[in-house]
Amino acid sequence: MKCKISFLTFFFFLIFQFGFSQTPSGYILKPDRVFDGEKIHNDWIVIVKENKIIACGNEKQVSVKNFSDFQIKNLKGQTLLPGLIEGHSHLLLHPYNETGWNDQVLKESEAERVVRATVAARKTLEAGFTTVRDLGSEGAGYADVGLKTSIEKGIIPGPRMIVAGKAIVTTGSYGPKGFAPHVRVPLGAEEADGVDDLTKVVRDQIGKGADVIKVYADYRWGAFGKAAPTFTLEELKLIVAITESSGRKVVAHAASEEGMRRAILAGVSTIEHGDAGTLEIFQLMEKYDVALCPTLAAGDAIMQYRGWKKGIEDEPERIKNKKKSFKMALDANVKICAGGDVGVYTHGTNARELVMMVEYGMTPLAVLQSATSLNADIFQMGDKIGKVKKGLLADLISVEGNPLEDIRVLEKVKMVMKDGVIY
């Protein structure tokens, strides 16, 4: 009898503890301030129901009378802002000081790379980046499409993904390199040339799940290993025409002046890197409304991998030149897409790029806009994410302090909400 009483007591305890408890119908978020994607507001509250923002504004203006079953989250001392958007990621890569790019493409199995990517996706989300534009699987086929699908199905936690699948390169330009001519090695991208080949490859990639088409408008295949154009202007225009007919955009890896010029005139959406851009080239970008994704943190990381002792030794020429070209882009009023080429450096440290954007001359406000509303618009998702606005998806994060006063607070995220779920 004593055992039965104990069992019944435990049984009713479980019922009252779990059976009659209710998950909140939503959240009432009360931070010190809200960055809405464009500017800061003090004394705002944000109300979330299911996966949407249903109200936001001054607490005196937003009625909370009918939200008794909503959970109130007091975010004292914190800033609430839209989930950050990473503009240039490679979840299927990990830092080159751990394993070189050639060895990742040639020696790591796709299974290992996918497992690494699931960890990277979780770290990215926990760092406050609720959306990433992943620009190339780097030899892992369409594993990025599968990763995106797994996140959407709730199998693994991770950010929303905009994926490129295989980047497109000209024959002979891309790697891995360093092998005898008779040796055929797997590539980190997909080769295509000319009208028929490019038409087939672009359409095939779209059919296999690419959200965006990435091309290498130049690469280090020029004389003496310098960056030189790959595709002709006509080929790039063809790629853009086919891609845009499907409602998608083309992004271009371009570091040389001529490679950038051809990509801009062809109508790409963003230029990735842009290291050797001139004032004339950046003015052309502004004219044609092409955004620059500068990937400052990748260059900084690579130079440190090569032995540069940052903060102790003088800056290498590559860093000095990058600062100059970035300033020219800002002076020309080019739209700056926040994206660091993360994967070259550690996933989950994505905010490193945002800190460097301020160090290289942007205002904290412009950086916040770039990493939220501007990226959302560039990626054709401004009607879903990138702002704290009624009707948009509840992708929200909070940080301790005010990022307008210290951008580094973005490196220490306190709360992450994606699709109305707190992680």
- Residue 153: inside a domain, yes or no? yes
Same domain? 27 vs 76? yes
Give the pLDDT score at 382: 98
Domain total in the chain: 2
Confidence of residue 227 (pLDDT cuts 50, 70, 90): very high
Which CATH number fits the domain that encloses residue 328? 3.20.20.140
Q: Which of 206, 213, 257 has the alpha carbon at shortest distance from 235?
A: 213
Which CATH number covers residue 36? Answer: 2.30.40.10
For residue 9, tell me if it sits in a domain: no
pLDDT on residue 303: 97
| 110, 151: one domain | yes
User: What residue type is assigned to position 158 of the chain?
Assistant: G
What are the pLDDT digits (tens) for 294-340? Answer: 999 999 999 999 999 999 999 999 999 999 999 999 999 999 999 99
> Residues 35, 403: contact at Cβ < 8 Å?
yes
Instruction: State residue 69's pLDDT score.
Output: 87
Query: Among residues of the chain, what percentage have pLDDT more than 70?
Result: 95
In this prediction, residue 63 has a pLDDT band, given cuts at 50, 70 and 90, of confident
- Read off the pLDDT of residues 97-130 as tens digits, 9 standing for 90 and up: 999 999 999 999 999 999 999 999 999 999 999 9
Residue 55 has pLDDT above 50, yes or no: yes
Q: Output the CA–CA distances (angstroms, integers) from residue 121 to 125, 148, 156, 159, 276, in the order listed.
A: 6, 10, 8, 6, 31
Do 39 and 105 lie in one domain? The reply is no
Looking at the structure, do residues 341 and 414 belong to the same domain, yes or no? no
| Same domain, yes or no: 78 and 111 | no
Which tokens sit at 359? 């160090």
How do residues 242-257 score in pLDDT, each as one tens digit? Answer: 999 999 999 999 999 9
Residue 367 has pLDDT above 90, yes or no: yes
- 346 assigned to some structural domain: yes
Question: Which SS3 state, helix, strand or coil, does residue 75 take?
Answer: strand
Residue 285 falls inside a structural domain: yes
The predicted model gives 351-355 an average pLDDT of: 98
User: What confidence tier does 52 reach under pLDDT thresholds 50, 70, 90?
Assistant: very high
Give the pLDDT confidence score for residue 363 in this predicted structure. Answer: 98
The tokens for 139 are 């030899």
pTM value? 0.93
Mean pLDDT of 21-37: 86
Of the given ranges (63-67, 103-107, 302-306, 419-423), which has the lowest mean pLDDT?
63-67
Are residue 361 and residue 287 in the same domain, yes or no?
yes
CB 169 within 8 A of CB 139: no
The reply to whether 196 and 167 lie within a common domain is yes
In terms of domains, do 162 and 126 share one?
yes
10 vs 312, more confident: 312
When pLDDT is cut at 50, 70 and 90, the band that residue 23 belongs to is: low
Q: Are residues 400 and 370 in the same domain?
A: no
Give 259-328 as a 3 state SS string. Answer: HHHHHHHHCCCEEEECCCCCHHHHHHHHHCCCEEECCHHHHHHHHHHCCCCCCCCCCCHHHHHHHHHHHH
**Strand 396-400 with 71-82, pairing:** antiparallel
Do 70 and 144 fall within a single domain? Answer: no
Containing 162, the helix (H) or strand (E) segment is strand 160-163
pLDDT band at 6; cut points 50, 70, 90: low
For all residues of the chain together, what is the average pLDDT?
A: 94
As a whole number of Å, the CA-based R_g of the chain is 24
Relative orientation angle of helices 351-359 and 296-305, to the nearest 10 degrees = 100
* Poorest-pLDDT segment among 22-31, 49-58, 154-163, 391-400: 22-31
Distance separating alpha carbons of residues 336 and 370, to the nearest angstrom:
6
- Are 266 and 398 within one domain? no
Confidence of residue 13 (pLDDT cuts 50, 70, 90): very low
| Full domain range(s) for residue 28 | 23-82+389-422
Establish if 6 belongs to a structural domain.
Answer: no
- Determine the pLDDT at residue 59: 81
157 found inside a domain: yes
pLDDT of amino acid 19: 37
* pLDDT for res 62: 85
